[in-house]
Amino acid sequence: MRNNDFDIHLLLKDPNTLIEEHQKTIACVVNKFVYTGLFSYHDRDEVIQYVNERLLTEKITKMQKQYKPQYYVVTYLSKIVYNLCLEYSRKHRTGNREDTTVDISQTDIPDNDDFSRHIMIQEESRRLDSILKMYYKHHKRIEVFLKIFFGIGITHDDLLQLYPEADEKEISVVLQKCNPTSDIDHKTDKELYETLTQFINKYEKKHNSSDALRKWVHAKMTEIIVLLNGNPKTANYDKETLKILFQFKYENLHFKASE
């Protein structure tokens, strides 16, 4: 966790920089509402912009006056962003921009210093785990493939769990070709499917095409989305919001391709 003393300094002396430094925190809270269906994925950027504007023009001043040192700044900020998301939702639904602001002086700050992660991940991540386990022997395979295609990356152990007999050199090649080497490194799906198909065919002694693997991954992804949405539908998942959930689940893992 980043240094809370530094966050306190920014809150009191340079609040604009604090907001800039915590754009990921803000996006994470907004994303929670996206994948539970309160906002659509297409509204995500607009909601983040709304939250930033409200923070800069009004809320940050109140935060400076009302912040209590016994709480983590990120906890406090996450709660404010959470309420601003609700505020945006009320305005969007009613079209009434009067009497809908949130008074943060009435906001209870939780004692949990990991509030933002709690509200973002815990419930939905547990649901995702339960769904993946339903696939039994394909559980790990699906998890590894989606981590690859969502740009999260995989580890040496991930591949060994799939194929314990895999050759070290071939594992290194897959890691190099399938793992992103930077935040802007986006390999094409075609490249990924070709690399994985060659690797899988060798250890499963098959001759499947990369298109067959693509169809299989797409089918499993669709099934997971349907299960997350529920019947009757209680959520609003699609490919993009499933990707967000996976990124949340693995956001603290840092991957490096084997040399």
Residues 151 and 46 reside in one and the same domain: no
State the pLDDT at residue 253: 43
- Whether 86 is covered by a domain: the verdict is yes
Give the pLDDT band (50/70/90) at residue 218.
very high
pLDDT of residue 194 exceeding 90 = yes
d(CA 72, CA 92): 31
d(CA 141, CA 155): 13
- Whether 125 is covered by a domain: the verdict is no
Residues 71 and 47 reside in one and the same domain: yes
- Whether 94 is covered by a domain: the verdict is yes
Residues 70 and 173 reside in one and the same domain: no
Q: Number of folded domains in the chain? A: 2
Residues 101 and 138 reside in one and the same domain: no
- Whether 257 is covered by a domain: the verdict is no
pLDDT tens digits, 25-57: 898 888 878 877 777 788 888 999 999 999 988
Percent of the chain with pLDDT over 90: 27
- Whether 70 is covered by a domain: the verdict is yes
- Whether 139 is covered by a domain: the verdict is yes
Q: Which domain holds residue 23?
A: 4-118
pTM for this predicted structure: 0.54
Residues 184 and 90 reside in one and the same domain: no
* Phi-psi domain of 40 (left: phi exceeds 0; alpha: psi -120 through 50; beta: other): beta
Mean pLDDT of 71-97: 78
State the pLDDT at residue 200: 94
Residues 113 and 179 reside in one and the same domain: no
Give the pLDDT band (50/70/90) at residue 213.
very high
Give the residue with greater pLDDT, 120 vs 19. Answer: 19
Residues 147 and 109 reside in one and the same domain: no
pLDDT tens digits, 138-156: 899 999 999 998 888 899 9
Residues 108 and 209 reside in one and the same domain: no
* Contact assessment for residue 51 and residue 26, using Cβ atoms and an 8 Å cutoff: yes
DSSP at 181 = S
Residue with tokens 């002396």: 13
Query: Residue 232 phi/psi, 5° resolution?
Result: -70, 160
User: 53, 88, 118 — which closes off a domain?
Assistant: 118
